[in-house]
Amino acid sequence: MTVLPDDGLSLAAEFPDATREQWQRLVEGVLRKSDPNTEARGTAAEDALSTTLEDGLRTRPLYTAADVPGGGAADATGFPGFAPFVRGGRPQGHSPAGWDVRQQHRDPDARRANELALADLENGVSSLWLVLGRGGLAVADLPTVLEGVYLDLAPIVLEPGADFDAAARALVGLYERAEVPPSAAAGNLGGDPLGLQARSGDDTRTAGLLDAAADWARRLGDTHPGLRVMTVDALPYHEAGASPAEELGCSLATGVAYLRHLTAAGLTAEQACRQLEFRYAATADQFVTIAKLRAARRLWARVAEVCGVTDPSAAAQRQHVVTSPVMMTRRDPWVNMLRTTVATLAAGVGGADAVTVLPFDHAAGLPDGFARRIARNTSTIVIEESHVARVVDPAGGSWYVESLTDELSSAAWEFFQEIERAGGQRAALASGFVAERLDATWNRRREALAHRREPVTGVSEFPLLTEEPVVREPAPEPESGGLPRVRRDEQYEELRARSDKALAETGRRPRIVLAALGSPAAYTGRATFAANLFQAGGIEPVTVPVGPDTDAAAAAALLREHEASAVCLCSADKVYAEQAAPVAEAFRAAGARSVLLAGRPRGELRETLRAAGVDGHLAVGDNAVALLTELLDRLLHQDPAGAL
């Protein structure tokens, strides 16, 4: 048997270490191939490959231990189950059973909700999340909804809104009638006065709900260790367009406000911490989601430390993570399965204690049985087949994740301090400080979505006009009046709705002819690009090869044949210079409402085409929503004149 030396055996021992400077020189060579005039050198060359994220963060192409606070040493991030809990709230991680698979229920039909709840529990769900009041079930229906549920085994999490006190009495009464030992009762009564204020814009109920929550915390804190009283729900801010740092900052400010109220009511800081559960959104941006959950635990650990909480079981933040409603699309909802799968993986890797996977048809209304099955099985597959839960802190040691966690923590803490300077979360909501900040953030993101810098598969990219819509029973109207609820697909959804209306009224969608000039090799690329873009706005493209000899009569015949009133020329720049002007003149003379061109002509060619009647162009980076809106206006006869 060969005995290795104490320092181990390095397979790279005979190879010299590569330096960052050497790698940067290689990057410089690649950049020069794409742009011989580039002056990027050293760090600037590396920055050219970086990606800008929200909150001023940047993802760089290369990370080393030098990019991580503490040089990647374990004592910089702690150990799983110990402060600052970056690596998880429990030493054993999720092992062996995985996280709590929590399914949401908002069907107002109590008997049907009961059937769905029992089906979920029989098929892999471990806890129930019940939306009550506006947007969900009636509190009086709780006994019916939970009939047949083993309350000593399945945790019950409520989202009661303004009905918190009545819902708490109803659930605790059910535990007592079922003779569930207080030590076995588990879940959350769901008191979230500031979340309700954020949703409704109404501050008049906040004080009373805070007092009611404090009263329940005093009554149950010592006797019901598994039953928390309050939820710090960050979804109202995420759904209003908050960035990851803003979502964290709002949750931190809300948690601190609840701690202040609970301790003022007589609880110790440790007792107060045990009453809180935090709810966050998981998106398909997996690394940001992982970093966000790790950063959230780190930030809350700092709050607990300042409050003198030393018991890890109290200081560790308990996290309920929900796949993002903002990313769920109404068109091509099947793609939502992919989004929620990535988000679920990120939530598990990030250390979530409980995960709710929204059904793929969530945005269409109340989900059907198939959608609920896919939702609950998503967690099951990730846990049982991918074995993510068998690894404690799977992201630990990744220099990128550790660096992103640190940067996101700093950005979130800065926003938290801004809220505190504004008087705390309640005052910041009442004054409009939070709303204005989130609105500005969402407007920046809307611009990225409109320009398709942030693509939405099935909506702004690769839409399918012929796909039958998914129709579901409408869901109850949720609490409203405060922060808005936004979706990534909303701008394109408005365009598609106009197209749907035209289809219903006339039997066809607005249509545009893609006039393909030259050979297929010359026009296919831009014709495909144009077809994709027009369908994102609900405009049906029809590709028709045309020649340079096309006259007004032939152009008019094409428009009549395809029942179109607009045309888009598609080809290579060289072909445009030779053929585009006379063809554009022919279509304009034939009465086309709009003559567009795929590409971005410059200089003399642009002026020539403008003179020939081309009144717009489309290219990568353009504002697709603005272009499609203007084109729909023309095609639907709302703005027949139009202008370049």
What are the angstrom distances between the C-alpha of 384 and each of 94, 96, 98, 320?
A: 12, 10, 8, 20
- Cα separation, 467 vs 470, in Å, equals 9
Structure tokens at 558: 């094409």
Alpha-carbon span 642 to 628, nearest angstrom: 13
Average pLDDT over residues 458-462: 95
According to the model, what pLDDT value does residue 30 have?
A: 86
Res. 71 pLDDT band, cuts 50 70 90: low
- C-alpha to C-alpha distance for 573 and 619, rounded to whole angstroms: 13
- State mean pLDDT over 11-18: 74
- Identity of the residue numbered 521: A
What does the pLDDT look like over 584-597, one tens digit per residue?
Answer: 999 999 999 999 99
User: Residue 7 has what pLDDT?
Assistant: 56
* Cβ(459)–Cβ(329) below 8 Å: yes
Picking from 610, 612, 644, the residue whose alpha carbon sits closest to that of residue 548 is: 612
* Predicted local distance difference test score (pLDDT) of residue 49: 87
- In this predicted structure, which of 11-25, 417-431, 486-500 has the lowest mean pLDDT? 11-25
Count of positions (residues) in the chain? 644
pLDDT digits (tens, 9 = 90+) for 186-224: 999 999 999 999 999 999 999 999 999 999 999 998 899
The answer to whether residue 1 scores a pLDDT higher than 80 is: no
Output the CA angle 101-107-108, nearest 5 degrees. Answer: 140
Q: Do domains 100-425 and 492-636 have the same CATH topology?
A: no
Q: How confident is the model at residue 74 (pLDDT cuts 50, 70, 90)?
A: low
3-state secondary structure of 212: helix
- Rounded (10°) CA dihedral 152, 158, 163, 168: 20
Q: Pick from 481, 246, 471, 513: which is nearest to 364 by CA? A: 471
Distance (Å, whole) CA 173 – CA 163: 15
What's the pLDDT tens digit per position in 81-113? 889 999 998 888 876 789 999 999 999 999 999
Domain residue spans of the chain: 100-425, 492-636
Round the average pLDDT of the chain to a whole number and report it: 92
414: confidence class by pLDDT, cuts 50, 70, 90: very high
Instruction: Report the distance separating Cα 238 and Cα 324, nearest Å.
Output: 8
What token pair was written down for 236?
């109202």
CA dihedral sign, ordered 299, 327, 497, 495 = positive
Which CATH superfamily groups domain 100-425? Methylmalonyl-CoA mutase (3.20.20.240)
Q: What is the DSSP letter of 131?
A: E
Round to whole Å and give the CA distance between 453 and 199. 29
The bridge status of strand 58-59 relative to strand 51-52 is antiparallel
Q: Is the pLDDT of residue 644 over 60?
A: no
Q: How much is the pLDDT for 640?
A: 39
- pLDDT-based confidence at residue 242 (cuts at 50, 70, 90): very high
2-11, 91-100, 565-574: segment of lowest average pLDDT: 2-11
- With 70 as the cut, is the pLDDT of residue 32 above it? yes
Give the pLDDT confidence score for residue 196 in this predicted structure: 97
Span 150-176, mean pLDDT? 97
pLDDT of amino acid 9: 60
CA-based nearest residue to 572, from 512, 529, 542: 529
The model carries a pTM of 0.93
- The CATH architecture one would assign to domain 492-636 is 3-Layer(aba) Sandwich (3.40)
pLDDT for res 458: 95
